[in-house]
């Protein structure tokens, strides 16, 4: 009874995959959950309320008012739910969700909810690939909702491609995992640095690098999911922190990052330095935009403070994790940094590996400690964040 005592609100919108929800309801009920089903008016064409209410053992609502004249309170329904599952979620319902429209009971309930929302889209392949759908799915993820991507296969239109709603077993597994995920970092504070730093040359120009911040934000998100309080100190990055346990501080230069880090460092349990901090900054920042008068221009650079090395020097109880992005003698250089910066572990990513490094959604890492080396396969940055924190937790228990 892995879902015992959990309240699951399923919102069905009008797609052929609606019939599959009947299997999902049975499965949730078998696992001990209470299930409340809502549907959009068009979903009623695809699956009957009678079937859904018999399986869920509750009346199914699709309108603000029931036939007997009672008002279906969307706020109450939303607050009742431990999770909301939008499945199948059509392109239309998705578009309305991310644009704040609430012209039916499903949407009004969704907008009133404070609990986690899972979205399982289902539509024809061209609708799934349409830029508006891509954008809307991204927006939904930015809101902090969890996307259960559509699968590849035969579609109701007879075409074949991505657009099939994830199978009920897949959805059920994701919901179960969500409820069973151990809050292994509850009570811990984790400090994470992320992104690049920009070192000003003059009011318009800077020295920077290609770091996107994706890795650091993924670690922050995963640590927060595990119950940690996260202090995320990020250089300029387009990433957004979604979890409410994440306190984000945005900085620009290495010096600003240094100051912010040491405002918090003494009180944290784990510190993870994933930022790509510029090693050097212009000695002087020109007050006005530098004119292109001469054929050559020399900018004198001075060394930035090494934030991670200073964290190593001031280390008391903190478990300290560094990153190394190397292009040659990778393991040797990473080991050197581990010792020199007094780290507990170092995460190595090599620019030689395809799919590893700065901008992409994937990474391939090796984790080194004083006496071990663990090699991981190419994974999404989300999965890498999980591996990394699993490793930290194991080491802290030693």
**Residues with active-site annotation:** 209
Whole-number Å distance between alpha carbons of 61 and 36: 9
What minimum distance in Å lies between the beta carbon of 346 and ligand C5P? 8
| 323 sits near ligand C5P (criterion: CB under 6 A) | yes
Three-state SS at 161 = strand
CA 172 to chain centroid: 20
| 254 sits near ligand C5P (criterion: CB under 6 A) | yes
Three-state SS at 44 = helix
Whole-number Å distance between alpha carbons of 293 and 364: 45
C-alpha distance from residue 353 to each of 107, 193, 356, 365 (Å): 44, 23, 6, 9
Whole-number Å distance between alpha carbons of 321 and 269: 11
Instruction: Kindly tell me which of 37 and 254 has the beta carbon lying closer to ligand C5P.
Output: 254
From the list 3-11, 146-154, 181-189, 319-327, the region that binds ligand C5P by CB under 6 A is 319-327
Whole-number Å distance between alpha carbons of 241 and 194: 11
Burial 210-228 (b: 16+ CB within 10 A, else e): ebbbbbbbbbbbbbbbbeb
Residue listed under structure tokens 């319902």: 93
Fill in the DSSP letter of residue 372.
Answer: E
C-alpha distance from residue 267 to each of 191, 214, 396 (Å): 9, 25, 17
What minimum distance in Å lies between the beta carbon of 305 and ligand C5P? 6
| 337 sits near ligand C5P (criterion: CB under 6 A) | yes
> Could you tell me which of 30, 155, 180, 16 has the C-alpha nearest to residue 87?
16
Instruction: Kindly tell me which of 61 and 265 has the beta carbon lying closer to ligand C5P.
Output: 265
Instruction: Kindly tell me which of 121 and 235 has the beta carbon lying closer to ligand C5P.
Output: 235
Among 193, 245, 318, 350, binds ligand C5P (CB under 6 A): 193
What minimum distance in Å lies between the beta carbon of 355 and ligand C5P? 20
Number of residues that bind ligand C5P (CB under 6 A): 14
Contact 383, 374 (CB under 8 A): no
Residues 6+ apart with CB under 8 A from 105: 38, 40, 61, 62, 63, 64, 72, 74
What minimum distance in Å lies between the beta carbon of 301 and ligand C5P? 13
| 211 sits near ligand C5P (criterion: CB under 6 A) | no
Footprint of ligand C5P on 91-120 (CB under 6 A): none
Instruction: Kindly tell me which of 104 and 318 has the beta carbon lying closer to ligand C5P.
Output: 318
Among 14, 121, 213, 322, binds ligand C5P (CB under 6 A): 322
> Could you tell me which of 23, 21, 62, 19 has the C-alpha nearest to residue 39?
62
What minimum distance in Å lies between the beta carbon of 273 and ligand C5P? 4
What minimum distance in Å lies between the beta carbon of 321 and ligand C5P? 8
| 39 sits near ligand C5P (criterion: CB under 6 A) | no
Whole-number Å distance between alpha carbons of 20 and 259: 54
Instruction: Kindly tell me which of 88 and 235 has the beta carbon lying closer to ligand C5P.
Output: 235
| 345 sits near ligand C5P (criterion: CB under 6 A) | no
Identify the helix (H) or strand (E) that includes residue 178. helix 168-180
> Could you tell me which of 55, 121, 48 has the C-alpha nearest to residue 88?
121
Instruction: Kindly tell me which of 193 and 245 has the beta carbon lying closer to ligand C5P.
Output: 193
Number of separate helices (H) and strands (E) present in the chain: 13, 21
Instruction: Kindly tell me which of 145 and 337 has the beta carbon lying closer to ligand C5P.
Output: 337
Q: What is the maximal distance between C-alpha atoms in the chain?
A: 84
What minimum distance in Å lies between the beta carbon of 128 and ligand C5P? 38
From the list 38-46, 159-167, 178-186, 318-326, the region that binds ligand C5P by CB under 6 A is 318-326
From the list 35-43, 48-56, 65-73, 269-277, the region that binds ligand C5P by CB under 6 A is 269-277
Instruction: Kindly tell me which of 81 and 271 has the beta carbon lying closer to ligand C5P.
Output: 271
Contact 8, 85 (CB under 8 A): yes
Footprint of ligand C5P on 275-314 (CB under 6 A): 275, 277, 279, 304, 306-308
From the list 181-189, 220-228, 239-247, 316-324, the region that binds ligand C5P by CB under 6 A is 316-324
From the list 26-34, 43-51, 321-329, 383-391, the region that binds ligand C5P by CB under 6 A is 321-329
Contact positions vs ligand C5P (CB under 6 A): 193, 254, 273, 275, 277, 279, 304, 306-308, 322-324, 337
């Amino acid at each position: 009874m892995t879902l015992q005592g959990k309240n699951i609100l399923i919102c069905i919108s009008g797609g052929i995959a609606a019939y599959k929800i009947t299997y999902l309801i049975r499965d949730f009920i078998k696992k001990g959950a209470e299930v409340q089903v809502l549907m959009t008016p068009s979903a009623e064409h695809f699956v009957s309320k009678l079937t859904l209410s018999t399986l869920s053992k509750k009346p199914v609502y699709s309108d603000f008012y029931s036939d007997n004249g009672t008002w279906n309170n969307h706020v109450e329904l939303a607050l009742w739910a431990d999770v909301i599952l939008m499945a199948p979620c059509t392109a239309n319902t998705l578009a309305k969700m991310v644009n704040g429209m609430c012209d039916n009971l499903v949407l009004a309930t969704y907008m009133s909810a404070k609990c986690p929302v899972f979205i399982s889209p289902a539509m024809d392949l061209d609708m799934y690939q349409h830029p508006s759908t891509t954008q809307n799915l991204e927006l939904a993820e930015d809101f902090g909702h969890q996307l259960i991507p559509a699968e590849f296969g035969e579609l109701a239109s007879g075409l074949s491609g991505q657009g099939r709603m994830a199978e009920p077993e897949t959805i059920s597994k994701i919901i179960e995992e969500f409820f069973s995920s151990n809050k292994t970092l509850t009570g811990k504070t984790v400090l994470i640095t992320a992104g690049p730093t920009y070192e000003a040359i003059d009011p318009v120009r800077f020295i920077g690098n290609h770091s996107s911040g994706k890795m650091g934000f993924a670690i922050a998100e995963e640590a927060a999911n595990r119950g940690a309080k996260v202090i995320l100190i990020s250089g300029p990055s387009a990433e957004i922190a979604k979890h409410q346990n994440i306190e984000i501080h945005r900085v620009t230069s290495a010096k600003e990052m240094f100051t912010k880090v040491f405002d918090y460092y003494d009180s944290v349990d784990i510190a993870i330095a994933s930022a790509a901090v510029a090693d050097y900054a212009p000695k002087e920042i020109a007050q006005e935009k530098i004119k292109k008068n001469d054929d050559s221009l020399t900018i004198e650079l001075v060394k930035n403070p090494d934030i991670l090395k200073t964290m190593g020097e001031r280390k008391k109880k903190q478990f300290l994790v560094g990153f190394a992005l190397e292009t040659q003698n990778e393991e040797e250089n990473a080991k050197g940094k581990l010792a020199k910066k007094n780290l507990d572990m170092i995460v190595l990513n090599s620019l030689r590996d395809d799919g590893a490094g700065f901008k992409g959604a994937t990474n391939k890492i090796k984790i080194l400690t004083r006496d071990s080396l663990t090699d991981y396969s190419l994974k999404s940055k989300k999965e890498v964040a999980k591996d990394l924190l699993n490793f930290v937790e194991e080491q802290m228990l030693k």
